[in-house]
Amino acid sequence: MATLADLARAHTDLDDEDIGILQDLSSTWGLLADLSFADLLLFGRRDGEPRGPLVLLGHVRPTTGTTLYRADLVGQVFESSRRPLVTEAFDIGRTTAGTVSVGTDRDVNVVAIPVRRSGHTVGVVVRERFRPESRPTSEQERTYLTVFDRFASMIEAGEFPYRDVERLRHRTPRVGDGLLLVDAEGRIEFASPNAVSVLHRLGMTRGVVGSRFDDTGLGSAMLRSAFSKRTAAIDEMERSDEVAVVSHCFPLLDGGVATGAIVLVRDVTELRRRDRQLVSKDTTIREIHHRVKNNLQTISSLLRLQARRLQSDEARAALGESVRRIGSISVVHETLAQSADDDVAFGEIVRPLVRVVEESVSSPLRPLSFTVQDEAGLVPGQVAMTLAVVLTELLQNAVDHAFPPDEVDASVLGTVRIEFDRRADGLAVRVVDDGVGVPEGFTVAEATGLGLTIVRTFVESELGGRIRLDRVESGSGTVAEVWVPGSRLVDPGGNARDPAT
């Protein structure tokens, strides 16, 4: 679906600053829809076409009332004759209002408010609701509608949305959080029931209406900042008893002067408690990875001690291979111990693995060079663990079979290249050498060596992928390729995908 900016660029001649104004408005206008108990629609048109078509750039529904629109109309283009009040607001640059009949005994009350910037209209916000049968009866409804009218005047005057507004650290505020209406002197004129409940949690048991905002415990600095800077301000306070409240102050302006404000208050005590639990669990998990890494290193040290006491070269080689396999798993645990989540950049694991293999196999009699090309991107921790073992085995296999000591020239540097090809449908990992190449008729399925048996088992069973070993198409050498399907990886947006069933 096209964004507001996409639609504005395609159907209007607004510049980036004009579009930014409309984007800022749409980021908070859910609050205005709630205050007006009505749908809000945002229209745009080209400046050079006074009677030109209108495009619907945005639409927000209220949480305090019933929407008139079940379908999504954003992106649709309307003839100006179908929306005469909107066209008039564009033409004269002032708010227009009227009633539109949409059927038998069904009239819609329409208010079209021009969004102004630097003396010209960049869009029109339209409030649409069924014409009420009678005047608002509750104090809360009357207050909300009055506050909406004040915001509408600010929009027409170019005072809303605010300039240099502090970006939201929380979800978009809605009136259901709890609303306080404060006058220019800092005295509370109205408090919604949810706001009263929040203040009671903060220990304010006496009457809220008529009290000064300074007495609420929410922090008067936020209100003073909003009044002086004439823009929204956000504050969060957390008491020693772990009660946490987020406050969002919107100054009400008239001719550049703050005549009052609304403060939305939200009790986030439970959210902060869960945040602390998540941080605690995350710390515990990382500590577990750290301890597992230490234990694996201890096991590796014990195996090395055991290898030194053995007389058989074959036994020492077997223990050496086990140490390398344990080391590859240890590298992953070390990376996970430093990561904030279970997804890791596999490139951070590959380079330590390559160094371990390079240090253990390079010698003057068999000089080798290892290089890594491209990036594998993010992979889930368990996949990284398995893939690290697989890559270690392939590197060791390349060294052992591509460059046998009795067949290589010590004056020629052998090369082993690790390549990654990350695509939408999966990840290809290739280990390419310029050694002697695989024998004629060789197949992975018939390989009996422990290393390739481990690789084949892990790739097919744990990763749901496939492996192939072939001669390099041009020149000498071997290419070993492992394919991991996208269902086992993390998508480009950073979301782990569910395994394919």
Class of the domain covering 175-267: alpha beta
Q: Is the pLDDT of residue 169 over 60?
A: no
The pLDDT value given to residue 499: 42
The pLDDT value given to residue 136: 63
Mean per-residue pLDDT over the chain, rounded: 84
Q: Is the pLDDT of residue 211 over 70?
A: yes
The pLDDT confidence band at residue 501, using thresholds 50, 70 and 90, is very low
- Between 203 and 209, the more confident residue is 209
The pLDDT value given to residue 250: 94
Q: Cα(263)–Cα(227) distance, rounded to whole angstroms? A: 12
- Between 262 and 363, the more confident residue is 262
* DSSP state, residue 498: P
Q: Is the pLDDT of residue 159 over 80?
A: yes
Q: Is the pLDDT of residue 171 over 50?
A: yes
The pLDDT value given to residue 409: 64
Which pair of structure tokens corresponds to residue 124?
């029109």
Average pLDDT over residues 16-30: 92
The pLDDT value given to residue 361: 64
Q: Are 83 and 101 in contact (CB under 8 A)?
A: no
Using one digit for the tens of pLDDT, what is the confidence trace for 427-474? 999 998 888 777 777 777 777 777 788 888 888 888 889 998 888 877
Q: Cα(374)–Cα(194) distance, rounded to whole angstroms? A: 54
Q: Output the CA–CA distances (angstroms, integers) from residue 324 to 11, 302, 354, 451, in the order listed.
A: 62, 13, 11, 12
Which pair of structure tokens corresponds to residue 52?
């030109």
The pLDDT confidence band at residue 264, using thresholds 50, 70 and 90, is very high
The pLDDT confidence band at residue 293, using thresholds 50, 70 and 90, is confident
The 8 Å CB, 24+ separation contacts for 450-456 are 450/321, 451/321, 451/393, 451/396, 451/397, 452/393, 452/397, 454/325, 454/389, 454/390, 454/393, 455/390, 455/393, 455/394, 455/397, 455/482
The pLDDT value given to residue 170: 53
| Among 73-87, 92-106, 442-456, the range of highest mean pLDDT | 73-87
With vertex at residue 26, the alpha carbon angle to CA 23 and CA 29, rounded to the nearest 5 degrees, is: 150
Q: Which CATH architecture has domain 4-156?
A: 2-Layer Sandwich (3.30)
Q: Cα(5)–Cα(121) distance, rounded to whole angstroms? A: 16
The pLDDT value given to residue 349: 82
Q: Cα(479)–Cα(459) distance, rounded to whole angstroms? A: 16
Average pLDDT over residues 302-323: 84
Range list of β-strands (E), 323-401:
343-345, 368-373, 378-380
Average pLDDT over residues 54-67: 93
Q: Helix axis angle, 381-402 relative to 347-361, nearest 10°?
A: 30
The pLDDT confidence band at residue 34, using thresholds 50, 70 and 90, is very high
The pLDDT value given to residue 411: 66
Per the rule left: phi > 0, alpha: psi between -120 and 50, beta: everything else, 494 is: left
Q: How far apart are the first and last CA of the chain?
A: 30
Q: Are 88 and 112 in contact (CB under 8 A)?
A: yes
Q: Cα(194)–Cα(206) distance, rounded to whole angstroms? A: 15
318 burial level (CB within 10 Å; 0-12, 13-18, 19+): middle
Nearest CA to 466 out of 451, 455, 476, 474 is that of: 455
* DSSP state, residue 500: P
Which pair of structure tokens corresponds to residue 165?
């507004």
- What one-character-per-residue DSSP string does 278-291 give? HHHHHHHHHHHHHH
- What one-character-per-residue DSSP string does 93-132 give? SS-EEEEEEEETTEEEEEEEEEEEETTEEEEEEEEEEEPP
Nearest CA to 30 out of 55, 2, 58 is that of: 58
3-state secondary structure of 437: coil
Q: Hey, CA dihedral for 181, 187, 189, 190, is it positive or negative? A: positive
- Between 314 and 105, the more confident residue is 314
Q: What is the pTM of this model?
A: 0.62
The pLDDT value given to residue 265: 92
The pLDDT value given to residue 407: 62
Nearest CA to 356 out of 379, 387, 325 is that of: 325
Class of the domain covering 344-501: alpha beta
Task: Return the number of other C-beta atoms located less than 10 Å from residue 437's C-beta.
Answer: 19
The pLDDT value given to residue 368: 79
Q: Is the pLDDT of residue 52 over 90?
A: no
Contacts of 369 (CB under 8 A, 6+ apart): 413, 414, 415, 416
Average pLDDT over residues 330-355: 77
Q: Is the pLDDT of residue 495 over 60?
A: no
